[in-house]
Amino acid sequence: MPHIDRRIYEHPIITFNRGKRVIFYFEGHPIEAYEGESVAVALYALGVDVFSWSPKFSRPRGPFCMIGKCSSCFMTINGVPNIKACKYPVREGLVVERQRGWGLLAKSSILEDYKPASSEKIETDVLVIGGGPAGLIAALTAANYDLNVVIVDEHFKLGGQLLKQTHKFFGNVELFGGLRGFQIAEELAKKIALEKRIRVLMSTIAYGVFRGGYVGVVGENAHYIIKPKALIIATGAQEKYLDFPNNDLPGVIGAGGAQTIMNEFGVKPGESALVVGSGNVGLIVAYQLLQAGVRVRAVIEILPEIGGWFIHAAKIRRYGIPILTRHTIKYVEGDVRVRKATIIAVDEKFNPLPGTEKEFDVDLVLLAIGLEPDSRLAIQAGAVVKYMPELGGFVPVRTRFLETTVKNMYIAGDISGIEEATAAMLEGKIASLAIVSRLVDTSRSSKALEEAEKVLKFLWEEYRASPLLLRAKRGKEAVTISINELEDLRKKFPSPVSFG
């Protein structure tokens, strides 16, 4: 066991209130952790960089996304293999082991005490998958009109990626502007807790949508079959990957993954970092690294211009962090963790220019090259999707009220195309109000529609009027269709599933 303490005890923005001390076992060693931490974070805090070895070439693997979207942190916990350690809360006495190759069920121990999980059938008005900004606003909006709501979220805390955002939000005061992301998460979670009509299923995964309008949801020792009148998928997005030699070395982490480690859990992701990509995520993470006491050597950007907003760039430039445009990463080196990264300049056609290499001694290479909508569940349900580079990948085609080609199945937030949390909250509100208008009596229905129109107008005509959001706006316009077009698509590509 390495003897390192990566926990952050002093931070300019966040106070880390750690829970009760618990002891669990990692390959025979007792590990001290704090309630509220995930197994992955507790191990990382003590200097564990390698979480598993790959099946084919036994290459070391470390954490990458830290939000349950990838397989980098699969571990065997209490004999059960392939558990996402990033989403598994620490508990007294857990037995955690790394996997060499495929995880195998320890047949004797598990199968002998195997008891099928209890299965509960739930009928509800609205099922919201994903407890981030879009999902939480959607749930609160529906509950406000007296609808019953179930929220399913894979994490053990509500808030989605708001939990790791330490900067103050833009927008206006009505949209939580001025509050920091984690403060917005706290506020929303408090409101949700007060709503008797909202039931929250934490640490659960929606694993499939089935004929008859059922959604299967599974947690540890729990199984739910949920039949909602309407479904809102607000599953967010995942970090994109980049090809370069040794990109699987521990220490190559998604920018969002590093934010989770340092801002949600108060653990330093490394000592010295290179950030790849200068979109808002890259610029913001560079600033947050600085706040966490991590040295930032540079932010690199393959394009001739900085990708994100000037104000975010200015925040790191004034502390002397260089933003190297027209540069890309060539390779990283290291044995069990990144030790060195080599970057190279590119010409106008993005061809590397030999002889322009620069080396950085870093133990952290953060990928901030963009996000990809997590549309897997919508695709499985049979929604018609379109590949939209300006939106980050495959997104469901939808009406302006965010209904997909699967009847009464809506989307909101990054799954509909990558924007940011404010737009996600507005979309959550629109989708929810559209559902409300279908499920409540006439007088309240027209009130809900009126409210939806107001939000739509603000989102499309004022908020997205910003030239900095133009690319995403155009992408969203291209996949937003009329009711007639929706009906045509439904005939052409009928889904076996519908809700309502």
Partner 1 sequence: MIYVEKFTFRETGVIKLEELKRLNLLPPQERLLKGPVAILECPEEIPCNICVPFCPSKAIQMESIIALPKIVWDKCTGCGICVAVCPGLAAFVVDISKQDADYVTIPHELLPVPRVGDKVMILSRSGEILGEGVVIRVWERNKTYVITIKVPKGLGLEVRAILSKPLK
**Which residues are at the interface with partner 1 (CB under 8 A)?**
10-13, 167-173, 177-180, 183, 290-291, 293, 295, 304-306, 309-321, 323, 325, 422, 462-469
Alpha-carbon distance 386 to 224, whole Å?
31
Residue 138: phi, psi to the nearest 5? Answer: -60, -45
Minimum distance of partner 1 from residue 10's CB (angstroms): 6
343 in the Ramachandran plot: left (φ > 0), alpha (ψ -120 to 50) or beta?
Answer: beta
Of 309 and 331, CB closest to partner 1: 309
Burial class of residue 352, CB neighbours in 10 A (0-12, 13-18, 19+)? middle
Minimum distance of partner 1 from residue 418's CB (angstroms): 16
Choose among 254, 207, 318, 285: nearest CA to 73. Answer: 254
Of 127 and 300, CB closest to partner 1: 300
Of 6 and 61, CB closest to partner 1: 6
Contact 6, 267 (CB under 8 A): yes
Q: Taking CA 260 as the corner, what is the angle to CA 6 and CA 153, rounded to the nearest 5 degrees?
A: 135
Minimum distance of partner 1 from residue 335's CB (angstroms): 24
Choose among 479, 333, 284: nearest CA to 398. Answer: 479
Minimum distance of partner 1 from residue 397's CB (angstroms): 25
Minimum distance of partner 1 from residue 314's CB (angstroms): 6
Contact 228, 215 (CB under 8 A): yes
Four-CA torsion 184, 187, 189, 195, nearest 10 degrees: -140
Alpha-carbon distance 264 to 59, whole Å?
28
Other Cβ atoms within 10 Å of 290 Cβ, number: 17
Of 156 and 310, CB closest to partner 1: 310
Of 48 and 179, CB closest to partner 1: 179
Q: Report CA-CA distances (Å) from 241 to 66, 338, 391, 401.
A: 14, 16, 16, 31
Alpha-carbon distance 258 to 288, whole Å?
10
Of 1 and 468, CB closest to partner 1: 468
Of 2 and 320, CB closest to partner 1: 320
Minimum distance of partner 1 from residue 358's CB (angstroms): 18
Enter the tokens of residue 46: 């003590």
- Sole residue written with tokens 């509800």: 124
Of 26 and 360, CB closest to partner 1: 360
Of 318 and 349, CB closest to partner 1: 318
The per-residue DSSP string of 40-93 comes to HHHHHHTT----EE-TTT--EE----SSSSSSTTEEEETTEEEEEGGG-B--TT
Minimum distance of partner 1 from residue 306's CB (angstroms): 6
Minimum distance of partner 1 from residue 278's CB (angstroms): 8
Of 123 and 462, CB closest to partner 1: 462
Minimum distance of partner 1 from residue 450's CB (angstroms): 21
Minimum distance of partner 1 from residue 492's CB (angstroms): 36
